[in-house]
Structure 1
Amino acid sequence: MATTDIFAPPRPQPLSERLASCRSCASDDLERVLDLGMQPIANALVEVDDVDSREARFPLELMVCRSCSLCQVSETIPPTSLFGNDYPYFSSFIPALLEHSRAHVEALIAERKLGPDDLIVEVASNDGYLLQAFRDADIPILGIDPAKGPADASAARGIPTLNAFFDAALAEQLTADGTRASVMIANNVLAHVSSINDFVSGFSILLADDGIAEFEFPYIVELLKRNAFDTIYHEHIFYYSLQALEPLFARHGLHLNDATPLEIHGGSLRIRVSHQPGQSMQLITLMNLEKTLRLNSLEPYIDFADRVNAIRDDLRSMLTDIVEGGGTIAAYGAAAKGATLLNFVDLPSGIIKYVVDRNIHKVGKYMPGLMLPIRNVAEFEHSPTTHLLILPWNFADEIISQQCAFAKAGGKFLVAIPKPQVVDVHFGR
């Protein structure tokens, strides 16, 4: 259960359940490899009226199952607390993600020769950012998402959307009339579902015999290589390797057949599964790489933890030196990864003045734990600062391009990942 301040006014608190066995293979041979301290729910932005009330915090620890090699957090928080009505993530506010998704859709339509006789089902469809491209090509679609705000936004775009959690029971309901999906897509959700066997079983049920399902998620190899510990938060329950995924899918009659590295979200993987076997050479190459990196041992994770602790110390020193030298610091992007980063670094009050964000659903609220006010990006021009810490570092190029006037006026951009540093910015003529 969360620790709380007994002197603060109460706020309804979710409970967490401590991990006793691997969520995938049920082994109890678990090892803690990283401790990021007591952290709030990263996406639980705080309303103005709640700033002074007590806030739930939970242990944020990375565990490794020594039986199946799956990395996972130590606490399970009810999904209704993580993805409730006020879930603030709307994918359509990220131009780079829109372009990435459009290219993905176009490639699938061409490869699979998709048309009006096919059904595309997206699990965790958010605000319809991806399915709209299938809709525009007159291909039947169905979105499924448990967060009411994004699901309503999707429906408002004319995209058929179920506001529900996806599982085997829902898949059975959908197939009761004989409906099966030619293609299923689940981007950035495979890592979010604690009942992972029930979730994967749903894909086996709903997917047509000759259909494919594709999943995108942050790749543990890239997380370790880029020191991307800020992508670890309670909402991200799992951190997958291919060697951990293969037995999970096989348990439900699905074959892991392909894997493609992606740059999106700071290093992701797109995998393809189906009822039919047929491993690609690219998948085999990546699985051999994982063996070389010894991801089935504790060594790479212990080295990672040492680097994470060094980043914490270096960032704290860098930001404190800037302020002591007369500089001022704001942050860009009220992302969940920013909440993990800043709560772990535990900066002295006042080092960072505020956060700006383009997402209107976040503006006017406060970052969890830190209680930093979130302002509209337009207000950034009226509150001069010397340094801007980019929290969603995976979109740093896009953000710097948008804020080129800041750099031309002498402002400096900072990132913390893969190490704390000032970003060297050059503008062409």
Structure 2
Amino acid sequence: MVKGEAVAFRCRGCAGENVVPVVDLGAQPCADYFPAADAPGPDPRWPLELWLCRDCTLVQLGPVEAQVAEEPLAVESATSRAHAETSVKEILGDYPELSGGTVFEFGSPHGGSWLDHLYAADCRLAGDGETANLVVDVHGIVHEPQYGDSLQLRAERLAPGGLLVMEFHHLLPLFVGNQFDTIRHGHWAYVSLRALRNVAALHGLAVESVRQVDMFGGSLMVMLRHAADAKPDASIAVLLEDEDAAGIADEVQLGSLQEAAWHAAGALHDELARHKAAGRTVLGYGAPSKAPVLLDLSRVTTDLLPFTVDMAPGKHGRRIPGGCLVPIRPIAELKAARPDVVLVLTWDIADEVIAQLESDGGWGTSYLVPLPEPHERERREAR
């Protein structure tokens, strides 16, 4: 396939055919498939490509075959739980009329549910077919293959005069921060504010306000209403200007992410090889869905990373899929091994990870964060 060559593939947002490939990360394993540690492989792989719709500007996975279905095994981070509580307080503070009203939440495999906090504010869950004053989607919609159809469902759930709150990983920090490991099977859309605005308009929705949040390396929280009810504020134009300046709706600019990804992957391999040559031990922290792409592109195997650890008991005794074969063990084994370097694979919650490992004084290890280029984090940054 030639980059920029259009094929018969309809946009997942607007259903248009003016869609072109921009980034190709090769054949990659399914991100949430964690085989048993002794499973020899090879693991199944599928093409991992980003495509751009020239009409609505949605960036998305291209044609992908069926994948291995796996139950989510991750444990929700303390960062995510705290963010949910804070978000509800802020939204109800900004929109006090929503307290005590009806709510409906489109859930996410990542957790982050707002419902318990909304119930504490006397909100009531909307019943089957009932519209809601507040509709919430926190990192949920990207797991649904047809973005436009899924947005229509959210519009239908929204009562007249109601508020739709959508939080999602933002394409802008993904691009400028070289967060290529967040491109993965099962995440079907990589959304900018402009793309959301364009697709939302097809379903009678309009963006009213937007704020940037730190979750998952940089996310947006976007407030939408039915178009007749929306009163857009100045935050929208500011963020659209930032997106335009970065060129994230331009296929040539987006295509540069492919070279940046391979460069950072090579740098990580070289950094781990340097530590090994110097006699330093390196172990990993985390087995997130980001890890398969990162380690596969970086050609990291157990020779450079003997094992990683994770909070989720369901992942213990398993391994990272793909070519790395890195086993996943309990956190206690990392602390017992006292490596010279900890590679933080869950880099988006590096502060939480470092604080956890340093809570009893640590052992003098250094913390290596892989992106946008491998760099060391100082322990005092966690405090």
- TM-score using structure 1 length: 0.80
Q: Deviation string for 1:83-106 (max 9, x for gaps)?
A: x5x222343xx1111111101111
- Amino acid corresponding to residue 350 of structure 2 in structure 1: A
1:225 to partner: Cα distance: 1.4
Q: Following TM superposition, where does structure 1 have runs of at least 4 consecutive aligned residues deviating by more than 4 angstroms?
A: 114-117, 125-129, 405-408
1:46 aligns with 2:35: yes
How do 1:212-227 residues align onto structure 2 when only pairs under 5 Å count? 212-227=163-178
2:183 to 214, 232, 237: 232
1:131 to 105, 112, 115: 115
* Cα distance in structure 1, aligned partners of 2:303 and 2:361: 23
* Cα distance in structure 1, aligned partners of 2:146 and 2:170: 20
1:400 aligns with 2:351: no
1:295 to partner: Cα distance: 2.8
1:249 to partner: Cα distance: 0.8
2:281 to 317, 325, 328: 328
How do 1:293-372 residues align onto structure 2 when only pairs under 5 Å count? 293-369=246-322, 370-372=324-326
1:68 to partner: Cα distance: 2.2
Q: Which residue of 1 aligns with 2:161?
A: 210
Q: Which residue of 2 aligns with 1:141?
A: 125
1:186 to partner: Cα distance: 0.6
* Cα distance in structure 2, aligned partners of 1:243 and 1:227: 20
User: Kindly tell me: are residues 325 and 256 of structure 1, through their superposed partners in 2, closer, same or farther at Cα, counting changes over 3 Å?
Assistant: same
Q: Which residue of 2 aligns with 1:36?
A: 25
Question: Are the equivalent residues in 2 in contact too, given 1:19–1:74 (CA < 8 A)?
Answer: no
* Cα distance in structure 1, aligned partners of 2:338 and 2:382: 24
Question: Are the equivalent residues in 2 in contact too, given 1:39–1:57 (CA < 8 A)?
Answer: yes
Question: Are the equivalent residues in 2 in contact too, given 1:58–1:75 (CA < 8 A)?
Answer: no
* Cα distance in structure 2, aligned partners of 1:208 and 1:428: 42
Q: Which residue of 2 aligns with 1:377?
A: 331
1:284 to partner: Cα distance: 1.6
Question: Are the equivalent residues in 1 in contact too, given 2:352–2:382 (CA < 8 A)?
Answer: no
2:48 to 52, 60, 66: 60
SS at match of 1:418: coil
* Cα distance in structure 2, aligned partners of 1:256 and 1:351: 47
Question: Are the equivalent residues in 1 in contact too, given 2:24–2:49 (CA < 8 A)?
Answer: yes
- Amino acid corresponding to residue 256 of structure 1 in structure 2: V
Question: Are the equivalent residues in 2 in contact too, given 1:76–1:194 (CA < 8 A)?
Answer: no
User: Kindly tell me: are residues 405 and 253 of structure 1, through their superposed partners in 2, closer, same or farther at Cα, counting changes over 3 Å?
Assistant: closer
Identity %: 26
Q: Deviation string for 1:270-310 (max 9, x for gaps)?
A: 11111122211001211122223333322321332222221
1:428 to partner: Cα distance: 10
* Cα distance in structure 1, aligned partners of 2:366 and 2:241: 41
Number of residue pairs aligned between Structure 1 and Structure 2: 373
- Amino acid corresponding to residue 426 of structure 1 in structure 2: R
Deviates more, 1:194-203 or 1:295-304: 295-304
Considering Cα pairs closer than 8 Å and 6+ residues apart, tell me whether 1 or 2 has the greater RCO. 2
* Cα distance in structure 1, aligned partners of 2:197 and 2:61: 20
Question: Are the equivalent residues in 1 in contact too, given 2:84–2:112 (CA < 8 A)?
Answer: no
Question: Are the equivalent residues in 2 in contact too, given 1:174–1:206 (CA < 8 A)?
Answer: no
- Amino acid corresponding to residue 326 of structure 2 in structure 1: L
Q: Which residue of 2 aligns with 1:99?
A: 82
1:411 aligns with 2:362: no
* Cα distance in structure 2, aligned partners of 1:258 and 1:363: 42
* Cα distance in structure 1, aligned partners of 2:363 and 2:231: 55
User: Kindly tell me: are residues 344 and 196 of structure 1, through their superposed partners in 2, closer, same or farther at Cα, counting changes over 3 Å?
Assistant: same
Question: Are the equivalent residues in 1 in contact too, given 2:100–2:121 (CA < 8 A)?
Answer: no
How do 1:190-269 residues align onto structure 2 when only pairs under 5 Å count? 190-269=141-220
1:76 to partner: Cα distance: 3.4
Unaligned stretches of 5+ in structure 2?
1-6
* Cα distance in structure 2, aligned partners of 1:66 and 1:406: 52
* Cα distance in structure 1, aligned partners of 2:277 and 2:8: 42
User: Kindly tell me: are residues 181 and 428 of structure 1, through their superposed partners in 2, closer, same or farther at Cα, counting changes over 3 Å?
Assistant: closer
Question: Are the equivalent residues in 2 in contact too, given 1:204–1:252 (CA < 8 A)?
Answer: yes
Q: Deviation string for 1:205-241 (max 9, x for gaps)?
A: 1110011111111111111111111111011111111
- Amino acid corresponding to residue 223 of structure 2 in structure 1: R
Q: Which residue of 1 aligns with 2:3?
A: none
User: Kindly tell me: are residues 428 and 320 of structure 1, through their superposed partners in 2, closer, same or farther at Cα, counting changes over 3 Å?
Assistant: closer
User: Kindly tell me: are residues 132 and 405 of structure 1, through their superposed partners in 2, closer, same or farther at Cα, counting changes over 3 Å?
Assistant: closer
- Amino acid corresponding to residue 344 of structure 2 in structure 1: I
User: Kindly tell me: are residues 342 and 128 of structure 1, through their superposed partners in 2, closer, same or farther at Cα, counting changes over 3 Å?
Assistant: closer
1:268 to partner: Cα distance: 0.6
* Cα distance in structure 2, aligned partners of 1:383 and 1:372: 16
Question: Are the equivalent residues in 1 in contact too, given 2:206–2:230 (CA < 8 A)?
Answer: yes
1:26 to 12, 15, 20: 15
- TM-score using structure 2 length: 0.90
Q: Deviation string for 1:332-360 (max 9, x for gaps)?
A: 01101112211121224421011111122
User: Kindly tell me: are residues 283 and 236 of structure 1, through their superposed partners in 2, closer, same or farther at Cα, counting changes over 3 Å?
Assistant: same
User: Kindly tell me: are residues 396 and 294 of structure 1, through their superposed partners in 2, closer, same or farther at Cα, counting changes over 3 Å?
Assistant: same
